Structure 1
Amino acid sequence: MKTKIKTLYEQDYYLWLEETANLLRNNQLTDLDIPNLLEEIEAMGRSEKRSLYSNLKILLMHLLKYRYQPEKRSNSWRYTIEEHRQRITEAFEDSPSLRRYALEMFDKCYQDAKKLASKETGLSIEAFPNSSPINLEKTLHSDYLPE
């Protein structure tokens, strides 16, 4: 069975997932394709982190644009800000330990957001503060919009 499930991983990923779930459900642990299962679990963790980073970067970029281009503020910007706040909040609800990761990478995320905001607005990168003027909590606060 072990060879079959390992071959299945290479030939039909979705069916491999179903079979792996069934093996786990039926406590048939010796038949599991452990190497590929571990790889998939680790990849899921990396994916969650990438998603969080991306959502926070977009949120910070839009907050910068909102602050430094007040004449171009739009409902679309406010929508994007709210949408990415919701995505991050949902990620924290599903995986509270991601908050620690968000705090760890907040400054790097801000630096990337600042570069993107500079490119998108046409403003010099020096127009934006060297470090974020707000912390993670304020960034995620639903009533916060920079003026």
Structure 2
Amino acid sequence: MENLYKTDYHRWLGQQRDLLAQGQFDQLDIPNLLEAMDFEMGDITKELRAHLIILLLHLLKYDYQIRVLKDSWVQDKVMYTWLPSINNPRIEIEQHINKNPSLEPAVNEVLAEAYSLAKLKAIKELNKYIRSESKRLHKNNFPEQCPWTYKQITDDDWLPGE
């Protein structure tokens, strides 16, 4: 069975399912079954972190446009086109937390990790459009720690600067 686990995972998994259904517990490939379960369970914080990075990236860019650039054309014409890119990750986060309520105690820790990555991405993306080297963004253009709470950023009615 060990060989089948390594050569035809799907077939091996089907065999394990059949053995469970038939109550043939002594025939199960327990070590590999546990490994497969660990793999399938994965790191549920990984998905939360990914959605938070996307959300924070767009919130940081939105905030920078509002707070620093203060470009009225962007505010009037462009900002509202960004709302789906802010609201879509909020929906994904809410669904993920509802599906995995055990994540709730970890949201602030995951938020802190996601913020540092989102900040680097925001700097990189905003710098694509800055031609003058003296005006390029660096890590000090944004707070070191996330300036918003998890509750704020996941609130559908909240945007930075409001």
Q: Measure the CA separation in 2 of the matches of 1:103 and 1:25.
A: 41
Measure the CA separation in 2 of the matches of 1:121 and 1:66.
Answer: 11
Alignment gaps of 5+ in structure 1: none
In structure 2, what is the Cα distance between the partners aligned to 1:63 and 1:17? 43
Shift in Å at residue 74 of structure 1?
4.9
1:128 matched residue in structure 2: 142
How far the C-alpha of 1:44 sits from its partner, in A, is: 3.1
C-alpha separation in 2, matches of 1:88 and 1:27: 38
| C-alpha displacement of 1:97 | 0.7
In the alignment, structure 2 segments of 5+ residues that lack a partner are 67-73, 128-136
Q: 2:14, 2:88 → 1: CA distance?
A: 32
Are 1:53 and 2:42 an aligned pair? Answer: no
Sequence identity (%): 35
Q: Which amino acid aligns with 1:78?
A: L
Q: CA deviation at 1:66?
A: 1.2
* Bigger Cα displacement from structure 2, 46-55 vs 136-145: 46-55
Indicate if the aligned counterparts of 2:45 and 2:110 stay in contact, CA closer than 8 A.
no
Counterpart code for 1:134: W
Q: What residue is the counterpart of 1:146 in the other structure?
A: 160
2:151 partner letter: E
Which of these two proteins has the greater Rg computed from alpha carbons?
A: 2
- The equivalences for 1:1-147 within 5 A come to 3=1, 6-70=2-66, 71=74, 73-75=79-81, 77-122=82-127, 123-147=137-161
- Aligned residue type for 2:84: Y
Question: What TM-score does the superposition give when structure 2 sets the normalisation length?
Answer: 0.76
1:20-73 deviations in whole A, cap 9, x for unaligned?
223233332222222222222222343422222111111111111111124353
Aligned residues: 142
Structure 2 vs 1, CA of residues 92 and 23 (structure 1 numbering), >3 Å: closer, same or farther? farther
What is the distance in 1 between the residues matched to 2:87 and 2:20? Answer: 39
Give how far 1:82 is off: 1.8
* Deviation of 1:114 (Å): 0.8
Partner deviation per Cα, 1:64-89 (whole Å, 9 max, x = no partner): 111112435352x3222222112211
